[in-house]
Structure 1
Amino acid sequence: MEKRFAIAMDVGGSHITTAVIDLSEMKVFEDSFIKVSFDSNLPSKTVMDYWENAIRTLWEKSAIEKLSGIALAVPGPFDYADGTCWIKDQDKYDHFYGLNIKELLRERFDFDRDFPIVFENDANSFGKGEVYKNIENLPKNVMAITLGTGLGACFIENGKIVSTGKNVPQDGEIWNLPYKNGMAEDAVSLRGLLANYHNLSGIELNNGLELYHLAIEGDEEAIRAFHKFGEELAEVVLPWLKSFNAHMLVIGGKVANAGDLFLNILREKAKNEGIEIELVLSTDNETTALLGAASLLYKA
């Protein structure tokens, strides 16, 4: 079988990460990896200069003659089919509103109209990337969540995103589901975790790392804050694991790095409800997102 390669890019608010992906094996090609930091609120032409330079440097470094496409993991709002950016008032990519990224890339590289340039939501890319890391996961029903400043989620069946139907929430999103006196993201996010500690101790912390260190040093309120977080995570996630008949739950995001302080509670509650689930903790979100975006170009 002829080897196929693509360039994948994870588009962040302050940086891009890009690599060559071996589409035959769904792996990063020979450790190819470039990360570039910049101010995404610079004029679009300047930002595109950063993108172009990263792609050309990577392409030349890999010595690959033929590309099978370019795949980008991009935050929303974004028209993923058309390639038009609709990000607005988010303190990132201010000058890209209404611009078609696909056309901007075609102009920079003189690609013909048939050359594949594809886009995937960044949260979906993370989930799909974890699945495609091991092709044996493709037949599985997978729910993936990201725990950080927000609560991201996606549902994957046979390697494809499921966002409609009675077995998943609307648009495959759980952040906005009603929960207690607000919505799920109020509790199951970094701000929810810090709020737990504030409610227990009266102390307001600025970041999750500080809370983590307090917990591992034995601070009772910090430990209880993480335990409560695990309980609330279970209350939000378990009904959808059951509804989707998920075989695997993938958890990523910065808060997931403290998983040893709350995931046992999730496991225990899942067991009590008769839910058997393979739990995967992802610690490499960027590489995973690249594989997830590139999966749009994968051919089994």
Structure 2
Amino acid sequence: MNTPHAIGLDIGGTHITAAVIDITEMKVIDYSLQKESFDSNLPVDQVMTIWEKAISAAIENSKIESMAGLAVCMPGPFDYQEGVCWIKGQSKYEHFYGLNVRNLLLDSLSLSADFPVLFENDAVCFGKGEVFKQKENLSKKVIAITLGTGLGACFIDKGVSVTTGDLVPLDGEIYNLPYKEGIAEDYVSVRGLLSHYHALSGTTLNNGLELYNLAIKGDQLAISVFEKMGTDLAAIVIPWIQNFSADHIIIGGKIANAGALFLPSFTKSVKEAGIEVQVSVSNDNEAAALLGAVSLLCTSHSK
């Protein structure tokens, strides 16, 4: 690749993280990492202004002028090939449904129509990035799970994302698997945690951080909600751990920071199912997702 740097974006329901990545070394350029929190249900033009601000600041702080492309981690449903958003009814990006995000980015950044902009599922980016960070995973079957405003997953066999076949759920997604009275994401997500806490306590919280703070201060209902989420997550993924013959489960996303609260119940359920699998929590979600995103440009260039 002639230009050894690219822009990586990790876009979630409440945040954007942008950075310039050295493609040769697969590392984040010093001082280029930029984060912005925002409400993704704002009008499209306001969201794009926030994105443009983060991307421009990342480029400016990197002191690097030439970029090989832009690689974006984006939650689904999303047409990753065409760059079209199909998110609906998930309390995020309500105004983006049916819009071409590639064109929105090109326009807001005043880039030419042929500038490479590639998209991938946020969980796949996270999983691929973790494989880059831990090279021993290149020989393993890895399930990467992201816990945040949504429930993401990817299945990676020897470094390659698997989205079809009998060994994985449709498109490698678990958020929409039928579970209890709805789908998996209704129970394992920030929305699920807050809904469960409200059902138990009658109290409406604004976000997951409030719930986490209650739990670490000893609120037994808050603690029980996280524990139940761990049990629910195990029930959802155990059939697929077995089906895929996974060696390693890596958990990331904002809720992963509360691992001490839900991992014990998760691992207990997995062991009770007679499964031996390595379980770990990512210590650097953002860098993993950004590296995984930019690896798309390397793959694209090599084709």
TM-score above 0.5, yes or no:
yes
| Residue number among 182, 199, 204 corresponding to 1:206 in the alignment | 204
After superposition, where does 1:161-172 map in structure 2 within 5 Å? 161-172=161-172
Q: TM-score, normalised by structure 2?
A: 0.80
* Structure 1 residue 229 corresponds to structure 2 residue 254: no
Q: How many angstroms does 1:227 deviate by?
A: 3.4
Unaligned regions of 5+ residues in structure 2, if any? none
Equivalence for 1:291: 291
**Which stretch of structure 1 is more off in the superposition, 239-248 or 173-182?**
173-182
Q: How many angstroms does 1:116 deviate by?
A: 2.4
CA contact (8 A) 2:122 2:152 kept: no
CA contact (8 A) 2:226 2:262 kept: yes
**Which stretch of structure 1 is more off in the superposition, 155-164 or 218-227?**
218-227
Amino acid corresponding to residue 238 of structure 2 in structure 1: L
CA–CA separation in structure 2 for the residues paired with 1:179 and 1:43: 32
CA contact (8 A) 2:3 2:67 kept: no
Alpha-carbon distance change, 142 to 103 in structure 1, aligned in 2, over 3 angstroms: same
Equivalence for 1:9: 9
Q: How many angstroms does 1:79 deviate by?
A: 2.0
CA–CA separation in structure 2 for the residues paired with 1:39 and 1:221: 28
CA–CA separation in structure 2 for the residues paired with 1:219 and 1:275: 32
Q: TM-score, normalised by structure 1?
A: 0.80
Equivalence for 2:259: 259
CA–CA separation in structure 1 for the residues paired with 2:293 and 2:260: 29
CA contact (8 A) 2:8 2:20 kept: yes
Equivalence for 2:102: 102
CA–CA separation in structure 2 for the residues paired with 1:189 and 1:75: 13
Equivalence for 2:127: 127
Question: Which structure has the greater CA radius of gyration?
Answer: 1
1:298 aligned counterpart, secondary structure: helix
The number of aligned residues is 296
Amino acid corresponding to residue 205 of structure 1 in structure 2: T
CA contact (8 A) 1:196 1:229 kept: no
| Percent of aligned pairs with the same amino acid | 56
After superposition, where does 1:1-300 map in structure 2 within 5 Å? 4-13=4-13, 15-37=15-37, 41-44=42-45, 47-87=47-87, 96-106=96-106, 108-111=109-112, 113=114, 115-194=115-194, 202-207=200-205, 208-298=208-298
CA–CA separation in structure 2 for the residues paired with 1:160 and 1:23: 19
